[in-house]
Amino acid sequence: MPYQAPVKEMRFMLEHIAGLGDIAALPAYAHATPDMVDAILEEAARVARDVWAPTNKNGDSQTSRLDGDNVKTPDGFKDAYKQFAAGGWNAFVCAPAHGGQGLPWSLGMAVNEMWQSANLALSLCPLLTSAAIEAIEKHGTPAQKETYLPKLISGEWTGTMNLTEPQAGTDLAAIRTVATKAGDHYLMKGQKIFITFGEHDFTDNIIHLVLARIEGLPEGNDGLGLFIVPKFLVNADGSLGARNDVKAVSLEHKLGIHGSPTCVMQYGEKDGAIAYLVGEEGKGLRNMFTMMNNARISVGLQGVALSERAYQHALSYARERVQCARMGDKSGKRVAIIEHADVRRMLLTMKANTEASRALAYYAGGQLDLMRHAETPEARTAAELRADLMTPLVKAWSTDLALETTSAGVQIHGGMGFIEETGAAQYYRDARILPIYEGTNGIQANDLVFRKLLRDGGAEAKKFMDEIAAFLPLLNENPSDDMDAVKNGVARALDELRKTTDWMLANVKANTEAVAAGAVSYQRQFALVAGGYMMARLALAAHNALFEGGDDALFMNTRLVTARFFADALLPQVYGLSAPVMGGNAAACQIANDQF
């Protein structure tokens, strides 16, 4: 079925979750007026529907192909990208100093979700360009910014992120790609794997951001540097010079996202690839995380996007597929499967999880805006701490839910879901990479517990929990059965999270392995409570609109029903996670290797 961006839901969440109205009141975002926001969302929805979405299935079946040193992307990809860049979408949230539009990151979350729903494989190209832009903006020299940022921001060039090597996945200290000082630049030799859009036919130049070991520096993380390695060298006047000593030597054959070329990149097959240091020697890992942190939120958003696309696909099929009579209907009248209780349960689970994960992602986007442009240093610091806490939750929970949601989409199709022609299987296959991308979800759990929780003794986490507790009484101002159910569900889940948080903090040093074994369960529990809080905020906004006699009763009632279902049917997962969190996974640490 054609993809239709849920623009109305996006607007509602931008207003009531991200706080776009308050963000647009900041001087840096004063141009993000309501009329402009509406126009942007409507036009992005059109481009996503009419230009990007039609290329999705073709990209899956045709795939990208390596031809010598060049990559041929699937039919339609190059033109869709060109229209995207020509429309200024690549420059959307970038700083105006180098040609960006300077629009809020939170608004960019909604727009980027559309590209990702329409064609996830294609959307990976601008996502990685954005990461490269951010790294150069934050750590590059004035000359590097002047040389690379205008054309990256315009979309005339694209960027990549090169970290992984065959022997160095998560363990970046094991990187063997080496950069040797050579005057005002470095010469790089080595190989990188899993480089998305490392080669393609969209643009004349590709700017690789590469993590490499610096010759002469010590082993380990302190010996790393972050480098710009352009496909074509750039002359002083901005024109393209000679081809650099870097190329794609093969493409991976993947479970999903077939349209995106995932490259094995060779640096320095001849004399060495010319590379330019970004930031200081030995600070490469720190500088790389400028790209990584925002990329993690973006990957979480990809989970939301695929969940939305799979939900729309399954909903369309459920409305059309006639099969059996309803349970208890003795007339024998055959009905569309949307009438069957279990299908309705699956659809509402898909819908509720998608809305909750979208709300949490948009909330994180709003914090990123405040982190950049809030009016006081204290407010910027508070937003940064909150964004840091939300990052592993958004990345891990949204991508885990994408697997569950796309799987449910296949299940609703029944046997037809297992057949490629229906399209349901593609979303499931595409989603499988997301819990792996940008640090596996187990790494996100370790980040949540051993960095975000431990660094301040749980202060920021408890501050967030206190915020939820302070919000809940607002649900009683105009009482109803729905609001009571939402309030009670979130309150009980919050109490459970407080208990497991205290256990984690009490055991993190004395019983480290048990805490590590329970970290994924704790992360899931924390994210469920955070998602429940977001759904409660949406429910309150919808309930108040109904109480005040708004003219969109169906939309608002849908928000209430969905929030109540989340509280009644999905939040209770929190209780079952407490035992695994608090030592229930200890056997995983006790079992001997030869017992597996």
Quote the pLDDT of residue 171: 84
Angle, CA 364 vertex, CA 4 and CA 289 arms, to 5°: 110
How many helices (H) and strands (E) the chain has is answered by 19, 14
**357 and 307 Cβ atoms separated by less than 8 Å:** yes
C-alpha span between 441 and 551 (Å, rounded): 42
Residue 191: band (very low, low, confident or very high) from pLDDT cuts 50, 70, 90: very high
Read off the tokens for 528: 């469920």
**305 and 113 Cβ atoms separated by less than 8 Å:** yes
Label residue 509 exposed, middle or buried (CB < 10 Å: 0-12, 13-18, 19+).
Answer: exposed
Residue 536: band (very low, low, confident or very high) from pLDDT cuts 50, 70, 90: very high
384 tagged catalytic: no
Q: Which residue's entry shows tokens 């695929």?
A: 306
Q: Which of 158, 164, 146, 185 is nearest to 277 (CA)?
A: 185
Mean pLDDT, to the nearest integer, of 237-250?
A: 97
Label residue 482 exposed, middle or buried (CB < 10 Å: 0-12, 13-18, 19+).
Answer: buried
List, in order, residues 6 or more apart from 79 with CB less than 8 Å away: none
**147 and 238 Cβ atoms separated by less than 8 Å:** yes
C-alpha span between 447 and 72 (Å, rounded): 38
What does residue 335 show for φ and ψ, rounded to 5 degrees? -130, 165
How does pLDDT run across 385-405, given as a tens digit for each residue?
999 999 999 999 999 999 999
Q: Which of 320, 311, 194 is nearest to 261 (CA)?
A: 194
Give the type of residue at 432.
Answer: R
Say how many C-beta atoms besides its own lie within 10 A of residue 236's C-beta: 8
Quote the pLDDT of residue 293: 75
**522 and 505 Cβ atoms separated by less than 8 Å:** no
Q: Is residue 274's pLDDT more than 80? A: yes
How does pLDDT run across 485-508, given as a tens digit for each residue?
999 999 999 999 999 999 999 999
C-alpha span between 311 and 294 (Å, rounded): 26
First-to-last C-alpha distance (Å) of the chain: 45
Give the type of residue at 163.
Answer: L
List, in order, residues 6 or more apart from 184 with CB less than 8 Å away: none
**220 and 242 Cβ atoms separated by less than 8 Å:** no
* SS3 of residue 191 by DSSP: strand
Which three-class secondary structure string do you get for 484-515?
HHHHHHHHHHHHHHHHHHHHHHHHCCCCHHHH
How does pLDDT run across 359-386, given as a tens digit for each residue?
999 999 999 999 999 999 999 999 999 9
Quote the pLDDT of residue 289: 82
Quote the pLDDT of residue 124: 97
Quote the pLDDT of residue 530: 98
**Cα of 209 vs its chain's centroid, Å:** 20
The one catalytic residue among 375, 438, 496, 548: 438
**307 and 354 Cβ atoms separated by less than 8 Å:** yes
Q: Is residue 454's pLDDT more than 90? A: yes
Q: Are strands 206-214 and 178-182 parallel, antiparallel or unpaired?
A: parallel
**411 and 234 Cβ atoms separated by less than 8 Å:** no
Give the type of residue at 12.
Answer: F
Mean predicted lDDT score pLDDT of the chain: 96
Give the type of residue at 390.
Answer: M
Region for residue 242 given its phi and psi (left: phi exceeds 0; alpha: psi -120 to 50; beta: otherwise): beta
List, in order, residues 6 or more apart from 393 with CB less than 8 Å away: 360, 444, 448, 523, 526, 527, 530
For the whole prediction, is pTM greater than 0.75?
yes
Q: Is residue 440's pLDDT more than 80? A: yes
C-alpha span between 376 and 325 (Å, rounded): 62
Quote the pLDDT of residue 197: 98
C-alpha span between 409 and 400 (Å, rounded): 14
Give the type of residue at 476.
Answer: N
Q: Is residue 282's pLDDT more than 90? A: yes
Residue 38 half-sphere exposure, CB side, CA atoms within 13 Å? Answer: 3
Cα 587 to Cα 501, 514, 518: the distances in Å are 21, 9, 11
Label residue 58 exposed, middle or buried (CB < 10 Å: 0-12, 13-18, 19+).
Answer: middle
Mean pLDDT, to the nearest integer, of 111-115?
A: 98
Read off the tokens for 402: 């994408």
